[in-house]
Structure 1
Amino acid sequence: MGRTASDPEQEPEPPTDAALPLLWAEAAGSLLRTVGTPAFPTALRSALGLSCAFSSLVVTRYQSVGPPGSLYHDLNDVLAAITVQFYAAGPYILDPIYIAAVRDRCPPGAYRLSDVAPAGFLRSEYYRTFFRKLRISDEMCLLIPDGPDAWISVSLARALRDPRFSPTDRNRLNAAAPLISAAVIRHWGSDHDETEADSAVEDRLHLFAAEHLSPREAEVVELILQGHSTPSIAAYLGLAEGTVKVHRHHAYAKLGIASQAELFSLATKYLMAPQS
């Protein structure tokens, strides 16, 4: 999920390939020794650092019903309020990582933000108004299945001044995934049954302004909120780009707004409003 970088000057560089076998053996022993103890997150952070450099670590459980749950983060209180609390209040439903895990059910493994974000996501209002507040340059997550309807996301972030994660970073994390995943499941995994929430936030997104919009207009609005561009929406729905623009224009007029920024603000207020 959305994550925030700590001081990049504290970021260790990944070790050389020649040193990796011994270091991974030590990391595996440390993970096994600390599972179920307060020391596990530190051991996990050290092990992940053998794959690539990163600034902050956030571990989240996603479920098919209900908001995500924070399992661990190394953020200060101010950044945690944005990255964890505000995120879980509604914006998570638009997160490409969440969508990849819960909606699209992507295979387990490592994914950079660019691997799963729709075309135009970096220009979307959601990216500008939420992700930018996290002051990160990039995010990469290891998605780990936790039973049939839940995932644990181990999310790494880099600070604004740092380069984006590369395919090599992703491949290194994927190579370590069997060890990391097994340790994470042993420490944070849950085999309890989920209970139905009174109302899932995802369902509320589908219902957003439904009484004011036609089904097609509501569909276009939802895709806009997810960060899709006009060409991407047209391809996804099998429509001409001009038709998508007409639906968007009509939807904005009915909602009394004139921009994507106003749409995002309106949708966020709706998602975060107390349910009756």
Structure 2
Amino acid sequence: MVGDATLADWNAALGDLIGQIGQEGFALTLRRALSVCTGFESMVVTRYRGTSEPVCLFHDLDDVQAAISVSFYATGPFLLDPFYLACREGRTPGVWRLQDLVPPSFLLSEYYRRFYRRVRIRDELGLLLPDGAEGWIILSLARSLRSPEFDEAALACVRSGLPPLAAAIRRHWGRPESDADARPGRAQDLLGFLGAVSLSPREAEIIHLVLRGHSSPTIAASLGLAEGTVKVHRRNAYAKLGISSQGELFSMATRYLVSDTD
């Protein structure tokens, strides 16, 4: 819950936000409202529809950050984004921290090293909002590597205002299913990459988890297999792919995801 000292500020901020629905100042008012609850360095709002290229609705990044976090992200890496995957896999809409959606080994994954660290993100807090049958709006608040992770207090504060926040965001940015504006992009489903090579179903399942940041122990626990069995499947899959490391796997998947399919 919001502390007594900030409850009036939080309610006032939400009132201001509702008054800005449909206006040019909505995004900045939303940013100011969320800053009452918690500190963050950047805010990005993105609309997704299925596996089509996502549409950035708002960001406050500089040109260098935007080139990676918006432009490059939309060409394929979004398919491995834990928040996007949470929506695709039916996670309950609401407010989630990155640490609540990823395995313990995520910070050691190639996806984290090659994408998150490139924009110097330490932690994210995401609002996951349905937007039609195959659509979602995700609002991401990010903290830099020099900042602490989002704590339970920040999570509880944003959750306390979720109903009016969600209603305002959907009213301002939401689109009916008939007005699908997601651009067909060059990005392809990650499963397309796994289906393009001669992996067995079990090998493909394990490689999919590796790409999402899982280690052999967490894969074993998730699939109910012995860790040694996972390592054998992983080694065989790497051999079929002609690679020898997780870094090479990530590079191969990224090249596939951003390749032009026209």
TM norm structure 2: 0.92
Is 1:182 matched with 2:167? yes
Q: CA RMSD in A?
A: 2.1
Give 3-state SS (helix, strand or coil) of 1:211's partner.
coil
Q: Please, which runs of 5 or more residues in structure 2 have no aligned partner? A: none
Q: CA deviation at 1:195?
A: 8.6
- Aligned partner (choices 260, 265, 272) of residue 246 of structure 2: 260
What do the CA deviations read for 1:176-215 (whole angstroms, capped 9, x no partner)?
Answer: 1111111111110111334998789453434436333222
Match of 1:270 in 2: 256
Q: CA deviation at 1:216?
A: 2.0
- Aligned partner (choices 13, 17, 38) of residue 24 of structure 2: 38
Match of 1:156 in 2: 141
Is 1:110 matched with 2:95? yes
Q: CA deviation at 1:114?
A: 0.2
Q: 1:199 to 1:89 in 2, by over 3 A?
A: closer
The question of whether the paired residues in 1 share the 8 Å contact of 2:124 and 2:142 is answered with yes
Quote the Cα distance in structure 1 between the aligned partners of 2:38 and 2:57.
22
The question of whether the paired residues in 2 share the 8 Å contact of 1:220 and 1:248 is answered with yes
Quote the Cα distance in structure 2 between the aligned partners of 1:94 and 1:131.
11
The question of whether the paired residues in 2 share the 8 Å contact of 1:121 and 1:228 is answered with yes
Q: CA deviation at 1:151?
A: 1.4
Q: 1:18 to 1:106 in 2, by over 3 A?
A: same
Quote the Cα distance in structure 2 between the aligned partners of 1:40 and 1:232.
42
Trace 1:194-233 onto structure 2 (pairs within 5 A).
194=180, 201=187, 203-208=189-194, 210-233=196-219
Match of 2:82 in 1: 96
Match of 2:227 in 1: 241
Q: CA deviation at 1:29?
A: 2.7
Q: Please, which runs of 5 or more residues in structure 1 have no aligned partner? A: 1-15
Quote the Cα distance in structure 1 between the aligned partners of 2:193 and 2:182.
18
The question of whether the paired residues in 2 share the 8 Å contact of 1:64 and 1:150 is answered with yes
Identity of aligned residues (%): 49
Match of 1:47 in 2: 33
Match of 1:191 in 2: 176
Residue range with higher mean Cα deviation, 236-245 or 37-46: 236-245
Question: Which amino acid in the other structure matches residue 137 of structure 1?
Answer: R
| Number of residue pairs aligned between Structure 1 and Structure 2 | 260
Residue range with higher mean Cα deviation, 21-30 or 252-261: 21-30
The question of whether the paired residues in 2 share the 8 Å contact of 1:141 and 1:156 is answered with yes
Q: 1:237 to 1:197 in 2, by over 3 A?
A: farther
